[in-house]
Structure 1
């Protein structure tokens, strides 16, 4: 009887995930569109964390965010303000948002606005800065702040007007295309960024901005292969949020990390986080760096794996192994293994090399614990000290404790309901 209820609830959750229709509808300012955002709010990746427990890259990104907002003029002032208790720290996930790596979002930052046209909910994400010494990896030098200001004053306004001319963009269809073209939607975004330029370039040219501004915008996107990541993430967030709060469901609708802890949330258990210490990533390092420099796993970008792409779709993107390590056969094997812990094959995201089989979708905490198979995640590696930035990329898995604790809580919840 109970298992029938669980199966029915999981089927409902899966239907909502598979029927989701994420669409890019515009760009706004965080303070104006993100629910609950204030001038002294700092949203971050992963589950809740205090300043004292924040990792180096997250602290670095907070410092940069406070300087960017004009709330501090230097590192010392920013640290003092962060320690004062005046700043509201909260996960992006608590505000219908997601953020890559440190995930810091502040009031003045421009954000993509994605709407799930099937269920009406929205999701938000900042615009992607590129790789290396960038805010999301904990860097906060003058060049980082200047780039963010340019993104606020030039990049976002040009793209906003271009989107007004183009109309909304169907991200689900676009993500399906890029997986066919060799991306996996998390760490390989060459096809996605290329398709986005193809969609927007004519409209960027048609905006009222100067030719210089248009050229700067096109060059910036062209030079940033990861620009599309900040669209796949909120597309996945908008898709998964519709599957939240379905009683008896054991489907995971959030996986996220803050650089200190990894956390998951389960449909039938609502907003509750189940956390454990974040793992060190096994990967490839940039010249001059090693595992000794690596911060534990960080970022909201695991929302892609939660939705059935990213690491789950690596078989579609064999070239990803040049960035994260391993072999093309490893990529295929990882994707195949994920069917053991999921409830369905995706009806839209297909893997050509697997005879166009849909990606493994709908992580079930029961199956994870029963099989002892953990989700595979590919991700960037941040330096463990504030201000340095990215040092590599690789593969990682969540701590099993998150899933064990969630399943234990689920059983207790059933007992309290008198279901068992």
Structure 2
């Protein structure tokens, strides 16, 4: 709604009233509209951290419904992949985990910059959408604190004494702790054309992070 508030004066200035009303109705009726802009902004930020020599920071995470893949800043354009897991969460009436496709989507780019799963503790109400409890989302953010290198000075969590969200996923910390990132995600039906059937949490497999660290050791002869 804050985004809508900012852009509406321009919309009504450049479009006729009918078009402006239709656009306002479309954006205001879709709570996930802003995610499109967040993903693009997150990608721009993550790319600025990519291709830094010796860096072990994760700069991309993506899932295509079959595989999940990651990229590491200091390893160029290499992708490290594994089978995409099936999320756990809440399903729309009439659907269950038997109908779910392995995880798919681009939104995990947000976890690389301190948003998404890393910021779950900032949004207690999301448990009504993805399942779980307030304690679960607090633990999810704390999980990220164990596998990241810093706090984000722009994304703060009032419920955590205004600490910044954990930012900068480090493959070394993942392998040291044995913890992988968790992400909030939509759940798609395994049959094409049906679309979203729920929402939940997906835990990324450790294999891509392990292979990335091994490749890092070979690349830098460590």
Same fold, TM-score > 0.5, yes or no: yes
SS at match of 2:61: strand
Map Cα deviations across residues 189-227 of structure 1 (whole Å, 9 max, x no partner).
xxxxx01110011221111x3221111111111111111
Task: State yes or no: 1:324 paired with 2:130.
Answer: yes
Deviation at 1:307, TM superposition (A): 0.9
Task: State yes or no: 1:287 paired with 2:97.
Answer: no
Alpha-carbon distance between aligned partners in 2 of 1:337 and 1:301, rounded to the nearest angstrom: 19
For 1:199, the equivalent position in structure 2 comes to: 6
Task: State yes or no: 1:364 paired with 2:179.
Answer: no
SS at match of 1:362: strand
Match of 2:187 among 376, 381, 391: 381
Alpha-carbon distance between aligned partners in 2 of 1:312 and 1:411, rounded to the nearest angstrom: 27
Map Cα deviations across residues 354-401 of structure 1 (whole Å, 9 max, x no partner).
000010000000110110011110000000011111000000111100
Match of 1:225 among 31, 36, 40: 31
Higher strand share: 2
SS at match of 2:121: helix
For 1:341, the equivalent position in structure 2 comes to: 147
Alpha-carbon distance between aligned partners in 2 of 1:377 and 1:211, rounded to the nearest angstrom: 39
For 1:353, the equivalent position in structure 2 comes to: 159
For 1:258, the equivalent position in structure 2 comes to: 64
Alpha-carbon distance between aligned partners in 1 of 2:100 and 2:150, rounded to the nearest angstrom: 34
Alpha-carbon distance between aligned partners in 2 of 1:381 and 1:353, rounded to the nearest angstrom: 28
Map Cα deviations across residues 169-195 of structure 1 (whole Å, 9 max, x no partner).
xxxxxxxxxxxxxxxxxxxxxxxxx01
Alpha-carbon distance between aligned partners in 2 of 1:338 and 1:227, rounded to the nearest angstrom: 26
Task: State yes or no: 1:311 paired with 2:117.
Answer: yes
Deviation at 1:311, TM superposition (A): 0.7
For 1:390, the equivalent position in structure 2 comes to: 196
Deviation at 1:277, TM superposition (A): 0.2
User: Structure 2 length as normaliser, TM-score?
Assistant: 0.98
Task: State yes or no: 1:406 paired with 2:209.
Answer: no
Q: Where does 1:78-157 land on structure 2 (aligned, <5 Å)? A: none
Deviation at 1:340, TM superposition (A): 0.5
Structure 1: state its 5+ residue gaps. 1-193
Alpha-carbon distance between aligned partners in 2 of 1:205 and 1:346, rounded to the nearest angstrom: 35
Deviation at 1:336, TM superposition (A): 1.4
Q: How many residues align?
A: 222
Structure 1 runs of 4+ with >3 Å offset: none
Deviation at 1:228, TM superposition (A): 0.4
User: Structure 1 length as normaliser, TM-score?
Assistant: 0.52
Task: State yes or no: 1:271 paired with 2:77.
Answer: yes
